[in-house]
């Protein structure tokens, strides 16, 4: 295992431009930039594990704006901010003046006077979430340029309608450590498959994030879903392009068993049909509650046709040596526990439960790395200072 100093020296060799750049989509970042996010995250985790303080801010806010429910990502963002010395402030839109006509431009500036980073989760409506983040970014640009803000806060995408970069990067770090390095991921087959869920309207961003990111690292990707459950076409095109560039492959199938066959990794996860998500967005814009209820009923009825799309022990036997790594962003719909029928059989989930917790445990460090790389131009020097000071954490 490399020492922290060796990892820092590796960072110095990378050609990156992350300083003062928002992290909104993984495919907007270069290979070196993605690698640097991983390396800084690993160093932060190593320092924390060895009781060395990673506080690089004396003051400042990390504003979290969640427009959807969250457990893991919400607490990961708070943990990351605290790890670096920032204070978290939750932005509750229901307690703000937004309902009284406050614009996005005004809100963005009013919450940013002493703010270093803004984490946003806006994942429910196609064509809206990522666009909202960019609108906030444009408002912050203006505020900084006009002298309203002393600095321009960075933005981290905590999940949008297109991508879930903090999740996919945490998953990538988990795979790197599980298989012993990024180079060892080349040629590994990952089955990103739809799975049955009794719930409705889950975003497309997790499968889109996984296929887009893993394609950058030479993996053999099979995306499987029933007819009608496709993803955003542009994201599919990106995955094809990146797989070709990295020497990997990308294939779409409509059979879960086919995707599981000889897979090294399986990632069974439910999501709503692409066309349904588009319809849902329009109905929400028009506040058409009656049609929304009808759409939900139809979607649940459609899901019910595919109850056999479940990660079972029998399907796991189809994987490479019957020992593929099971992954999930959590919470999983576990048959017999959280629901009668769902994404994964209870016995399968229990076998890999601790691994999924380890997988989730990388997210605070990934987010902290994104924050550090946004706020510091020479992140390697900051890390060297932390290592030389060796101030203990309070535990």
pLDDT tens digit string along 297-330? 888 888 899 999 999 999 999 999 999 999 999 9
Domain 4-163+364-389, classified CATH 3.90.25.10, yes or no: no
* pLDDT at 67 (0 to 100): 87
Q: pLDDT at residue 284 above 80?
A: no
Q: pLDDT at residue 1 above 70?
A: no
Topology alike, domains 4-163+364-389 and 166-360: yes
What's the pTM value of the predicted model, to 2 decimals?
0.96
Give the number of other Cβ atoms within 10 Å of residue 379's Cβ. 23
Q: What is the mean pLDDT of residues 343-363?
A: 98
Tokens of 366: 């990934």
Region of 88 on the Ramachandran plot (φ > 0 left; ψ -120 to 50 alpha; else beta): beta
* pLDDT at 221 (0 to 100): 98
Answer for the pair 106, 136: CB distance below 8 angstroms, yes or no: no
Within 8 A by CB and 6+ apart from 257, the residues are: 315, 318
* pLDDT at 247 (0 to 100): 98
Q: pLDDT at residue 276 above 70?
A: yes
Q: What average pLDDT does the structure give for the chain?
A: 94
pLDDT band at 207 (very low <50, low <70, confident <90, very high): very high
Q: What is the pLDDT of residues 107-155, one digit of tens each?
A: 999 999 999 999 999 998 899 999 999 999 999 999 999 999 999 999 9
Q: What is the pLDDT of residues 79-112, one digit of tens each?
A: 999 999 999 999 877 766 666 678 999 999 999 9
Backbone angles phi and psi of 99, in degrees to 5: -65, -20
Tokens of 223: 């995306």
Region of 101 on the Ramachandran plot (φ > 0 left; ψ -120 to 50 alpha; else beta): left
* pLDDT at 97 (0 to 100): 65
Share of the chain above pLDDT 90, in %: 83
Which architecture does CATH list for 166-360? 3-Layer(aba) Sandwich (3.40)
Q: Where do the structural domains in the chain lie, given as residue ranges?
A: 4-163+364-389, 166-360
Find tokens 């229901």 and name the residue. 94
Q: Could you give the angle at which helices 31-49 and 4-12 cross, rounded to 10 degrees?
A: 160
* pLDDT at 282 (0 to 100): 82
């Amino acid at each position: 295992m490399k020492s922290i100093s060796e990892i820092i020296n590796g960072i110095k060799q990378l050609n990156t431009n992350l300083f003062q750049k928002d992290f909104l989509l993984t495919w907007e970042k270069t290979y070196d930039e993605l690698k640097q996010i991983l390396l800084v995250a690993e160093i932060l985790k190593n320092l924390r594990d060895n009781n060395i303080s990673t506080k690089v801010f004396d003051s400042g806010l990390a504003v979290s704006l969640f427009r959807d429910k969250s457990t893991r990502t919400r607490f990961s963002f708070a943990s990351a901010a605290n790890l670096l010395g920032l204070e978290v402030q939750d932005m509750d839109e229901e307690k703000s003046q937004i309902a009284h006509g406050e614009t996005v431009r005004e809100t963005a500036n009013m919450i940013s006077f002493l703010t270093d980073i803004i984490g946003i989760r806006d994942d429910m409506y196609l064509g809206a979430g990522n666009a909202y983040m960019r609108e906030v970014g444009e408002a912050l640009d203006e505020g900084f340029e006009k002298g309203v803000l002393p600095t321009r806060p960075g933005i981290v995408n905590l999940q949008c309608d297109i991508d879930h970069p903090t999740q996919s990067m945490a998953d990538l770090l988990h795979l790197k450590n599980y298989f012993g390095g990024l180079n060892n991921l080349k040629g590994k087959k990952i089955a990103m498959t739809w799975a049955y869920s009794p719930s409705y309207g889950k975003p497309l961003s997790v499968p889109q994030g996984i296929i887009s990111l893993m394609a950058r690292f030479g993996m053999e990707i099979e995306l499987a879903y029933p007819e009608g459950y496709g993803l955003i076409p542009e994201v599919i095109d990106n995955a094809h392009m990146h797989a070709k560039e990295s020497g990997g492959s990308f294939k779409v199938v409509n059979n879960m068993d086919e995707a599981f066959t000889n897979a090294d990794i399986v990632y069974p996860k439910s999501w709503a049909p692409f066309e349904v998500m588009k319809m849902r967005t329009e109905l929400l814009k028009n506040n058409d509650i009656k049609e929304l209820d009808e759409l939900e009923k139809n979607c649940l009825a459609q899901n019910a046709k595919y109850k056999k799309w479940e990660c079972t022990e029998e399907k796991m036997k189809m994987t490479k040596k019957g020992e593929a790594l099971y992954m999930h962003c959590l919470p999983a719909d576990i048959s017999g526990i959280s629901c009668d029928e769902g994404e994964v059989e209870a016995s399968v989930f229990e076998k890999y439960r601790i691994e999924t917790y380890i997988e989730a445990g990388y997210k605070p460090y990934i987010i902290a790395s994104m924050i550090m790389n946004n706020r510091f131009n020479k992140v390697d020097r900051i890390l060297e200072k932390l290592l030389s000071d060796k101030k203990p954490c309070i535990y």
